[in-house]
Amino acid sequence: MSNIIIILLGTSMLYVFAASRIEAYVKILALQGTLLFLLVVVDIKEINWLNIAFLIVETLIIKTIVIPYFLLKVIRKNEIGREIEPYISQFYSVLIASAIFMFGFVAAFWAAKTNAGIKPLYFGISIVLIVASLFLIVNRKRIITHILCYMMLENGIFLLSLSVANEMPMLVNIGVLLDLFVGIFLFVIFFNKIQEMYDGNHIDVLTELKD
């Protein structure tokens, strides 16, 4: 069951590469949060109930409901429909996504051979999420897309932590969640200020900023 969830997580990134509507990105973000929640429920068995409860709140409540809802309100308030033309065309982006996916499986195969206590499939797909999110941040122009891809990058880091150990200390969980909230908060403030000052919401307007 956990392997199917992991594969679905990786496949969700392929959909992001093919999609152009910003709201579709938010739905994928919520889907990833749901899949991480299911993964926590199915796979984590050896940690105390308080830590499990925190992980469930972090994945189901925060990642699946609160942050996607918050970002969806920002998108609809600013009437953002589609991603503008990326630096690399969608066709070549999908090809790059396929290459990243293959690299993830190579990383999983390497992890399986090392016998270092790493869960191979978790490790491989977490690498896919991290690298694919970084590529999307570089390739896409809308600021709101960068925020969403930052969230997907954080999901990859969360999965990477699950790949190396079944136990995530509560302090680490709180630190990750706090970093996530601060990052999203600052991004949205920055986005709204840019929207107020300039008639545009993509990163090209940043070239107009002066000291």
Choice between 144 and 7, residue whose per-residue pLDDT is larger:
7
Let me know: does 10 contact 101? Beta carbons within 8 Å: yes
Reading the block at residue 44, the tokens are: 């984590």
- What is the rounded average pLDDT of the residues 92-96? 86
Say if residue 164's pLDDT is above 80. Answer: no
Say if residue 133's pLDDT is above 50. Answer: yes
Name residues whose C-beta falls within 8 Å of residue 113's C-beta, 6 or more positions apart in sequence: none
In this predicted model, what pLDDT tens digit does every residue of 42-67 receive, in sequence order?
Answer: 876 656 677 777 777 777 888 888 88
Q: Give which of 180, 186, 157, 168 is closest to 61, Cα–Cα.
A: 180
Choice between 207 and 133, residue whose per-residue pLDDT is larger:
133
Q: What is the mean pLDDT of the chain?
A: 76
Say if residue 89's pLDDT is above 80. Answer: no
Instruction: State how far the Cα of 115 lies from the Cα of 55, in Å rounded to an integer.
Output: 27
- What is the rounded average pLDDT of the residues 33-38? 88
Backbone angles phi, psi at 199, to 5 degrees: -85, 70
Say if residue 122's pLDDT is above 80. Answer: yes
Say if residue 211's pLDDT is above 50. Answer: no
pTM over 0.85: no
How would residue 175 be classed by pLDDT, with cut points 50, 70 and 90?
low
% the chain with pLDDT above 90: 5
Identify the pLDDT of residue 43.
75
How would residue 131 be classed by pLDDT, with cut points 50, 70 and 90?
very high
Q: Give which of 96, 116, 120 is closest to 107, Cα–Cα.
A: 120
Let me know: does 167 contact 47? Beta carbons within 8 Å: yes
Instruction: State how far the Cα of 24 lies from the Cα of 62, in Å rounded to an integer.
Output: 18
Let me know: does 35 contact 29? Beta carbons within 8 Å: no
